[in-house]
Amino acid sequence: MRKLSAFVVAGAMAMSLAACGSSDTAETTAATTAAATTAAETTSEETTAAESAEETTAAEAETEAPADLSGSISMVGSTSMEKFANSLSEAFMEKYPDVTVTAEFVGSGAGVEAVTNGSADIGNASRNLTDDEKANGVVENIVAIDGIAVVVDPANTVEDLTKDQLAQIYSGQITNWSDVGGSDSPIVVVGREAGSGTRSAFEELLGLEDQCKYSSELDSTGAVMARVASTPGAIGYVSLDVLDDTVKALKLEGAEPTEENIKAGSYILSRPFVMATKGEISEQNELVQALFDYIYSPEGEDLVKSVGLITVE
């Protein structure tokens, strides 16, 4: 429309000048017409460019907008992954309000079994999968790295243990704190129940599979924390992300249980957090794939860090 108006104006000017009968006027008319044509073409190009920019912006917005997702995702497994799994569920459901994510915390072994038999979409395990589990078609998807903290009651004067001392305490060879620089008091050895991912990882890292002499075998990370905090002389192991000031975390081989020390390899107790699936992620339904996309995104990495875990490099 703007182009047509330009030509109309140019035509009117040309007719007015032609009526004067001057050759100079004819030349001026031609020049004016040419200028009007150029202006019209420029206007048309600008309009086309603006329309193209609008289309590009709309396309980008459509690409960035989250897809409409609805339905439910079920996770079953590790109690050590409770804090992470709950935070992940809340964040994902906030991003996709029509999706429900449920999480049940019954231990790593039960989680892997649930995903194997199809009663859960995801099996959470705070350890690597075994060869037998993988042989059943279960895939190990590592989503974070966790340190295992060795904790004692706050009044304990011991600050540091060697790997050998820790192994000897849990195998029953060292039974009194005085043998490792502490007070003359018995050591109360607290651990997790059989099937716990934390227990499996802890015993494997110390080379103590099925050799530990426990005073108490408890069925959750929270229960271990509470027992150690309230029992003089107690020692236990918990996920690094649940540490608080109710217990004291010991150094191992002089290294504190921190992200920096775990990444550097100076802290000896760390393990993966696994969200196992039956088959590859690409074979899962749309909701499960979207959940893993979120976990491995920058937003998901920030969430991993926010709960005290280490991102997968």
| pTM for this predicted structure | 0.67
pLDDT score, position 3? 39
Q: What pLDDT does residue 67 have?
A: 59
Backbone angles phi, psi at 77, to 5 degrees: 150, -135
Which pLDDT tens digit goes with each residue over 195-232?
898 998 999 899 998 899 999 999 999 999 999 999 99
What pLDDT score was predicted for residue 313? 76
Q: Write out residues in the chain with pLDDT < 50, as ranges.
A: 1-50, 52-65
Could you count the other beta carbons within 10 Å of the beta carbon of residue 142?
15
pLDDT in tens, 136-150: 999 999 999 999 999
pLDDT recorded at residue 278 = 98
What confidence score (pLDDT) does residue 66 get?
52
DSSP secondary structure string for all residues of 88-118:
HHHHHHHHSTTEEEEEEES-HHHHHHHHHTT
What pLDDT, on a 0 to 100 scale, did the predictor assign at position 203?
A: 94
Which residue type is seen at 249? Answer: A
At 48, the amino acid letter reads T
Which CATH superfamily groups domain 71-144+273-306? Periplasmic binding protein-like II (3.40.190.10)
**CATH number belonging to domain 146-270:** 3.40.190.10
End-to-end CA distance of the chain: 57
Q: What is the pLDDT of residue 241?
A: 84
CB atoms within 10 A of CB 64: 7
The residue extents of the domains of the chain are 2-64, 71-144+273-306, 146-270
Torsion, Cα 198 204 229 166, to 10 degrees, reads -170
Q: CA-CA distances (angstroms) from residue 273 to 73, 79, 139?
A: 18, 11, 13
pLDDT of residue 210: 86
Q: What is the pLDDT of residue 20?
A: 36
Residue 308 is predicted with a pLDDT of: 86
